[in-house]
Amino acid sequence: MKKIYVILLFLAFSATAQEREVKTSRFVNQTEIGLLAGRSLTGPTYYYPYYPNPYLYLASSSYIAYPKTEYKEKNTGSLSIQTFNGWRILPRTAVGLTTGLDAYQGALIMPVAAGVRQVLFEKGPTLSKIQASLDLGAGTLWLDGKDEVSKKGGLMVNPAVGFIFPTRSGSAFLLNFGYKYQYYSISDAVDADNFREESRNIKRLQLRLGFQF
């Protein structure tokens, strides 16, 4: 009988220690791989409109406008990987830095953003949770490689909501559904007096699978 009491006491102590470890863990790492789905525009050329040199235009008696490119829409999917490293400032709230890589059609963008992770609902530290997240920052194209055109990144916004499935070791599996907005621009010098430019607003639905340490 004493052995049974000892075993029960040991199991209770182990469960309490595991729960305490989950609650007091301050550092949060969430690494995920995702799919970005949406529609993109394709056409015979990349850039519109065409901007003539104003001095050249005033000095010339004739002017031929650059024709508008006819774009077509098509469904597209892109791969994405990201990692969030943060610090738990409250039992259910973590703030930190998010970075990764998004392989869009025609551009490889690395977002760098401030991130927030907020647990909305949980029954217990070892049970599944519902989590909301928000990443706000900018995308850079310095990993995109050399090209004939100049590309410049811009605003990135990425809200999401999903589930955390804890494991016995204190880590967890992640499943998130979100929306991602990314802005970037492309410019190209036609000659010494003229250039052309295009702005792109990428809007994608997002599915992410990952792991939390």
pLDDT tens for 15-37 read 444 444 444 479 999 999 999 99
Residue 147: is its pLDDT beyond 50?
A: yes
Q: Where are the beta strands (DSSP E) in the chain?
A: 27-42, 50-51, 72-90, 93-104, 107-122, 129-140, 150-166, 172-189, 195-212
pLDDT in tens, 156-203: 999 999 999 999 888 999 999 999 999 999 887 666 666 677 888 999
Domains, the chain: 27-212 (2.40.160.20)
| pLDDT at residue number 143 | 82
Least-confidence region, from 34-48, 95-109, 150-164, 186-200: 34-48
Residue 7: is its pLDDT beyond 50?
A: no
pTM score of the predicted model: 0.74
pLDDT mean over 34-62: 58
| pLDDT at residue number 71 | 64
| pLDDT at residue number 102 | 97
Query: Checking DSSP bridges between strand 107-122 and strand 50-51, what pairing results, if any?
Result: unpaired
Residue 134: is its pLDDT beyond 90?
A: yes
Residue 10: is its pLDDT beyond 50?
A: no
Average confidence score pLDDT of the chain: 80
84: burial class by Cβ within 10 Å (0-12, 13-18, 19+)? buried
Residue 95: is its pLDDT beyond 60?
A: yes
Measured between alpha carbons, how far is 88 from 28 in angstroms, rounded to an integer?
Answer: 7
Stronger pLDDT, 41 or 134, i.e. the higher one: 134
